[in-house]
Chains A and B, each alone.
Chain A
């Protein structure tokens, strides 16, 4: 912790990025609530039977609920596409370079950091240090990579699930129907994968690292926090003269 009363703060995030994060979170919440309500049959439904019944009753039929889900989903995709197009060089590309785990070595390194971090949480491996981390730690990088790929799959499969039956004749080409069925599987599987990671993401933000949650509102974070959690990033900021 800082030895002064007012810790030195550094701006690490712009307003538009903060907006995108909370817009994404709101869309996810709405899409989860509506999506879990849309899938009805006992063999395939994702939530207990009362939820589809409640949601479809609330929206006066599943066709209305499907429309709500599709509109929110399309808005989610549209805002992301717009954001990427307008901020590719300034925000998106640097983010991708920092967060994407693309090589087996990087995956191993990040998995090790994540294991140690999680072990510390449960009071084990206390004598093992978490290796120095960059702007995003191992767990964040793995989660971020998974969310990026799952989001692409969700957008593609979601678009096919909504537009596929309008555009293609499933009766004429059996493959179109088969793609629809597998798109449904891919859509549900991606949601579950993201949810698994999201539990940890929310826990760390709300319970363990409140300062990082504050940084997702204000865009500023204390230099001490960076120094403590993201040593490699701190060195980088120092080299750039930002701290």
Chain B
């Protein structure tokens, strides 16, 4: 069976040391101020009046129905069979149509390359049999990566052992492959995906240009096919009448 890679983040074990962010930045040499992963701190007051901080390590969720792929005009954003959502730098024009499409804000325009950057689950490392850089560096073992289709993998075992949740809402449920363990705590709204949006140009393309084009060209083809058929019938009748007259 083909592998399907998932990431698990145990928020109870995360200490916000940001080793994952540092290792990712070192691995991918991201420019100053940019990173492919992050740790989000959420502070809130619990029902008993005590303050609490929850920590959410985040990155591309490698969704099954990734809207970034649907918004990308060049096919630079694509999904591999093993579930990784990847980005082909060679054909990415940096048009950013995919950026607002991502409900997790995982895509950004890299000012060094002028192409889109995002977490790739460290695909080159995984292909060599290594773990993603963030997972290898995580000091608290809060991040766990592996093949969910292998029943003996650590991720399969952990997923069976504890109750993990995904960052989904009623509006945004696009099959993320990133799981979180919160020890039963509700996921705060701050880390929930936002309703993905698209650039106006993308919306115009999808909702105006393409339907109008299909209706326009399709309508013309049908109309002129009709005209052709009418001409054929007319000619047949004409020949019929002519032959009748000759017969008389």
Assuming A43-B71, A43-B205, A43-B206, is B96 touching A196 (CB within 8 A)? Answer: no
- Encoded as 1 (CB less than 8 Å from any A CB) or 0, chain B from 203 to 228 comes to 01110011011001100110010111
Interface pair B91/A43, CB less than 8 Å apart: no
Interface pair B220/A199, CB less than 8 Å apart: yes
Interface pair B228/A165, CB less than 8 Å apart: no
Interface centre among B110, B205, B210, B227 (most CB of A within 10 A): B205
Q: How far is the CA of A208 from the CA of B230 in the complex (A)?
A: 12
User: B74: which of A38, A170, A178 is its contact (CB, 8 Å)?
Assistant: A38
Assuming A38-B74, A177-B95, is B205 touching A196 (CB within 8 A)? Answer: no
Assuming A44-B202, A185-B209, A196-B220, is B114 touching A63 (CB within 8 A)? Answer: no
Which A residues are CB-close (under 8 A) to B76? 62
**In the complex, how many residues of chain A place their beta carbon closer than 8 angstroms to a beta carbon of chain B?**
44
Within 8 A of B (CB), among A35-78: 38-46, 52, 56, 61-63, 66
| Pair count A-B, CB < 8 A | 135
Assuming A44-B205, A171-B111, A189-B209, is B217 touching A199 (CB within 8 A)? Answer: yes
**In the complex, how many residues of chain B place their beta carbon closer than 8 angstroms to a beta carbon of chain A?**
45
Assuming A123-B230, A170-B114, A171-B114, is B73 touching A40 (CB within 8 A)? Answer: yes
A-B contacts besides A44-B70, A188-B209, A188-B210, 13 pairs, CB < 8 Å = A40-B74, A41-B75, A41-B77, A43-B101, A43-B202, A43-B206, A46-B213, A52-B75, A62-B75, A122-B230, A181-B95, A181-B202, A199-B224
Q: Which 10 A-B pairs have the closest CB atoms?
A: A192-B213, A40-B75, A181-B201, A171-B111, A199-B220, A42-B70, A203-B224, A165-B93, A170-B94, A196-B216
A to B CB contacts below 8 Å, 19 in the list: A38-B73, A43-B70, A43-B205, A43-B206, A44-B97, A122-B230, A165-B95, A165-B114, A170-B95, A170-B96, A171-B110, A177-B94, A177-B96, A181-B96, A181-B201, A182-B201, A185-B201, A188-B210, A207-B231
